[in-house]
Structure 1
Amino acid sequence: MTEDQIRKAGIVLSNPRNQKEEVQALQDTIYAIGGKWRLLIINSICTGNRRFRDIQRSIPGLTTRMLSRELKDMEANQLIRRTVTEDTTVTVEYSETDYCLSFGAIILEMIIWGKMHRERIKKTMRAVKK
């Protein structure tokens, strides 16, 4: 953790805390961005995949039905924007909203933690095998 993160955590943990309120906030967060696919879809859109098939191809194991359902829910939660362009053919593109980008730092921290966790587990597994 950086010094800034430690300082912020200290402020949060030292203030009087309302467990019920914190549980509700965590539940709301998990509802909005939780599940197996949402963060992966957001990451895919944020890295340039805008069309349905491009998003689906970028995430192994994601079915058409599941992607369609997740995109609808994410649009309802104002995390993504769906844009339909009618030229010679109808084109549908998805993009992240500013609201979605507001938790970009959290996603990056999760990626960093995930990499660190994977290395830690690998190191432990190598030590056990010796």
Structure 2
Amino acid sequence: MTDSTKQYAVEKSDAEWKAQLSPAEFQVLRKAGTERPFTGEYTDTKTTGVYKCRACDAELFRSDTKFDSHCGWPSFFAPLAEERVDYITDTTLGMKRVEVRCANCGSHLGHVFEGEGYGTPTDQRYCINSVSLTLQPE
């Protein structure tokens, strides 16, 4: 787990983030919100490429790790590299989960779930908000 007070390579004030991001992007990326299930741009995307952080453009996930988990959000079984994401204990909503953040700017991406029989090489599901990502097609 990462200390939630970590200093990130990209740091901006809320005013600077609000000027850069749409209201929906700001709510998810900077305030740890979530988009409604099955509404995101990349939920069903099969395009080959690299998924990047929408806030800072850091490369986070490859399309070859994306799978259809039927959870309503894009799902990946591994990040592009472990150092690309940070993990924070999340006890909101009366449950204990693991939040996933961009390791470059600290933006909220979603959550990772383990050991639920996903049938993936890692048995993990990175449940990531589409609004947190941009896709760079190959």
TM-score clears 0.5: no
> Higher helix share goes to which structure?
1
TM-score, normalising length: structure 2: 0.30
> Higher strand share goes to which structure?
2
**Comparing both chains, which one has the higher relative contact order based on Cα–Cα distances under 8 Å and sequence gaps of 6 or more?**
2
The higher radius of gyration belongs to 1
TM-score, normalising length: structure 1: 0.31
